[in-house]
A and B are shown apart, each in its own frame.
Chain A
Amino acid sequence: DAGVTQSPTHLIKTRGQHVTLRCSPISGHKSVSWYQQVLGQGPQFIFQYYEKEERGRGNFPDRFSARQFPNYSSELNVNALLLGDSALYLCASSWGGQGAKAFFGQGTRLTVV
């Protein structure tokens, strides 16, 4: 069975640009969450979606948005990129809510120059 897949794996963008990151959850999982991980720190919660509805949002500016599609895949969008947005963006899926056990994808390494 395929795990959580994210695309692209690496991305370089210029300040002010927009980026879209994609995530496909494990088959049967209805919840997708997004995290930002800066080097040397733990993942920081950005969004959670369950059954295509936003269930939670972390302390991130409105430049960050996300959505979940009928097939439960998800997109994370970031507008007006800043140098500080450079990080590893992780997607996690779980059957219900985040619950106890989340399955993470390999992440998208975003570099803003």
Chain B
Amino acid sequence: GQSLEQPSEVTAVEGAIVQINCTYQTSGFYGLSWYQQHDGGAPTFLSYNALDGLEETGRFSSFLSRSDSYGYLLLQELQMKDSASYFCAVRDNTDKLIFGTGTRLQVFP
């Protein structure tokens, strides 16, 4: 089967750093993407890793270890507006996206 596991909820305070982990088991793998979704909104692309290592985009970084079937999203200098759900998604070998169940991040003042 295909599955992606993420923590269901993470809480943090403004200015802090938070890491959201994702482990996956899929029949094929091209890369791992991360999407942000605010309540009532559309998923928005954050980052993509096709190769092992760290990708940095502003306050957000994403890491991938293909040998461990593991990745994480790192959010730095947290702001209230970062409160949202975060999804990891595997791009499989048929080029479709398989999403995890999502992690709800709550940022407190």
List residues of chain B with CB within 8 A of the CB of A2: none
**How many pairs, one residue from A and one from B, have CB atoms within 8 Å of each other in the complex?**
62
CB distance from B46 to the nearest CB of A (A): 10
List residues of A (1-56) whose CB comes within 8 Å of B's CBs: 4, 33, 35, 40-45, 48, 55-56
List residues of chain B with CB within 8 A of the CB of A100: 31, 33, 48, 50, 91
- Taking a contact as CB atoms under 8 Å apart, the answer to whether B99 and A43 are in contact is yes
Whose C-beta in chain B lies nearest to the C-beta of A91? B42
CB distance from B34 to the nearest CB of A (A): 11
**Complex interface bits, B83-106 against A, C-beta within 8 A gives 1, otherwise 0:** 000010101001111111110000
Q: How far is the CA of A33 from the CA of B96 in the complex (A)?
A: 9
List residues of chain B with CB within 8 A of the CB of A55: 94-95
Q: Given that A42-B87, A42-B102, A90-B42 are known contacts, is A48 also in contact with B48, CB under 8 Å in the complex? A: no
- Taking a contact as CB atoms under 8 Å apart, the answer to whether A41 and B102 are in contact is yes
Whose C-beta in chain B lies nearest to the C-beta of A6? B42
The reply to whether the CB of A102 lies closer than 8 angstroms to some CB of chain B is: yes
Q: How far is the CA of A101 from the CA of B43 in the complex (A)?
A: 11
The reply to whether the CB of B108 lies closer than 8 angstroms to some CB of chain A is: no
CB distance from B98 to the nearest CB of A (A): 7
- Taking a contact as CB atoms under 8 Å apart, the answer to whether B101 and A42 are in contact is yes
- Taking a contact as CB atoms under 8 Å apart, the answer to whether A102 and B42 are in contact is no
- Taking a contact as CB atoms under 8 Å apart, the answer to whether A98 and B42 are in contact is no
> Chain A interface (Cβ within 8 Å of chain B)?
4, 33, 35, 40-45, 48, 55-56, 58, 90, 92, 97-107
Contacts A/B (CB < 8 Å), 14 sampled? A4-B42, A33-B96, A41-B101, A42-B4, A42-B102, A43-B97, A55-B94, A55-B95, A58-B96, A99-B91, A100-B48, A100-B91, A104-B35, A106-B42
